[in-house]
């Protein structure tokens, strides 16, 4: 499978993740963040941040990616990004992390919607119109179908891009971000796994 196709499959799944809210109805995708307990056969066990350990069934169609750290300076006008942010007391958005999509994935999950990285957090998947140096980092003016946002990216906010990975990298102790749908018996069907690589954990 080509790198381009692998990424396309993963980004399709990530787009699905974009529309999955934290409190999803049964059968709708959920976002699972945590640490790998084990991976054997097609069964991935993950200890969630919330404390419980869940079982995720990995199918042939389940995509696996990793993240690679890049620089804040790599975000330029014309970049297509996904930025998870929190509102400050003044209502202005400050990024908790930014994912820079490869060009092949432009348009993935476009929009501004609720996210579950913290209370009142949001995700904006959008085109970068302008990048302005600010005292606390850089201000990104983002545009998407139906609206615009300005998000400040602090110098210490993780900035990453997605790269292909294999199931061999699903090893005990690694951090993961998983998009999965609830299945029978409390298990999940895995759609997408983003796994830690070279010490870079998925910040989404």
Scan for tokens 């994912």, then name that residue.
99
Mean pLDDT for the chain overall: 87
Q: Same domain for 25 and 52?
A: yes
How do residues 15-70 score in pLDDT, each as one tens digit?
Answer: 555 554 434 455 688 899 999 999 999 999 999 998 999 999 998 888 898 999 99
Q: What is the mean pLDDT of residues 149-170?
A: 93
Q: Same domain for 109 and 27?
A: no
Q: Same domain for 72 and 141?
A: yes
| Statement: residue 141 has pLDDT above 80 | yes
Domain tally, the chain: 2
Range of the domain at 89: 68-160
pLDDT of residue 197: 96
Structure tokens at 127: 């085109």
pLDDT of residue 20: 45
Give 24: exposed, middle or buried? Use CB within 10 Å, 0-12, 13-18, 19+. Answer: middle
What are the C-alpha distances in Å from 188 to residues 35, 61, 76, 165, 178?
16, 14, 38, 21, 10
Can you list the positions of beta strands (E) in 19-79? 30-40, 43-48, 53-69
| Statement: residue 3 has pLDDT above 70 | no
Collapsing DSSP to helix, strand or coil, 91 comes out as coil
| Statement: residue 146 has pLDDT above 70 | yes
- Split at pLDDT 50, 70, 90, the class of 129 is very high
How do residues 72-98 score in pLDDT, each as one tens digit?
Answer: 999 999 999 999 999 988 889 999 999
User: Is 202 within a domain?
Assistant: no
pLDDT of residue 21: 40
Q: Same domain for 185 and 140?
A: no
Q: Same domain for 20 and 40?
A: yes
Scan for tokens 């820079």, then name that residue.
100
| Statement: residue 136 has pLDDT above 80 | no
pLDDT of residue 144: 95
Nearest Cα neighbor of 68 from 158, 171, 153, 7 is 158
pLDDT of residue 6: 55
pLDDT of residue 159: 96
Q: What is the mean pLDDT of residues 123-140?
A: 90
Determine contact, residues 48/42, Cβ cutoff 8 Å: no
User: Is 203 within a domain?
Assistant: no
Nearest Cα neighbor of 55 from 186, 166, 174 is 186
How do residues 102-113 score in pLDDT, each as one tens digit?
Answer: 887 888 889 999
* Percent of the residues in the chain that have a pLDDT greater than 70, as a whole number: 87
User: Is 118 within a domain?
Assistant: yes
CATH number of the domain where residue 181 is located: 2.40.50.140
């Amino acid at each position: 499978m080509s790198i381009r196709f692998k990424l396309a499959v993963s980004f399709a799944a990530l787009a699905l993740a974009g529309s999955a809210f934290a409190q999803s109805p049964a059968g709708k995708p959920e976002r699972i963040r945590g640490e790998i307990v084990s991976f054997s056969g097609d069964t991935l066990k993950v200890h969630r941040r919330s404390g419980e350990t869940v079982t995720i069934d990995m199918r042939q169609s389940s995509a696996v990616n990793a993240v690679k750290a890049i620089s804040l300076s790599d975000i330029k006008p014309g970049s297509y990004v996904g930025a998870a942010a929190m509102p400050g007391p003044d209502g202005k958005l400050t990024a908790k992390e930014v994912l820079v999509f490869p060009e092949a994935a432009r348009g993935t999950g476009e929009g501004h919607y609720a996210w579950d990285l913290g209370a009142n957090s949001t995700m904006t998947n959008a085109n970068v119109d302008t990048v302005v140096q600010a005292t606390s980092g850089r201000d990104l003016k983002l545009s998407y179908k139906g609206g615009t946002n300005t998000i400040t990216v602090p110098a210490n906010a993780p900035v990453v891009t997605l790269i292909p990975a294999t199931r061999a990298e699903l090893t005990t102790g690694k951090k993961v971000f998983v998009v999965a749908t609830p299945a029978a018996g409390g298990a999940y069907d895995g759609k997408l796994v983003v796994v830690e690589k070279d010490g870079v954990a998925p910040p989404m």
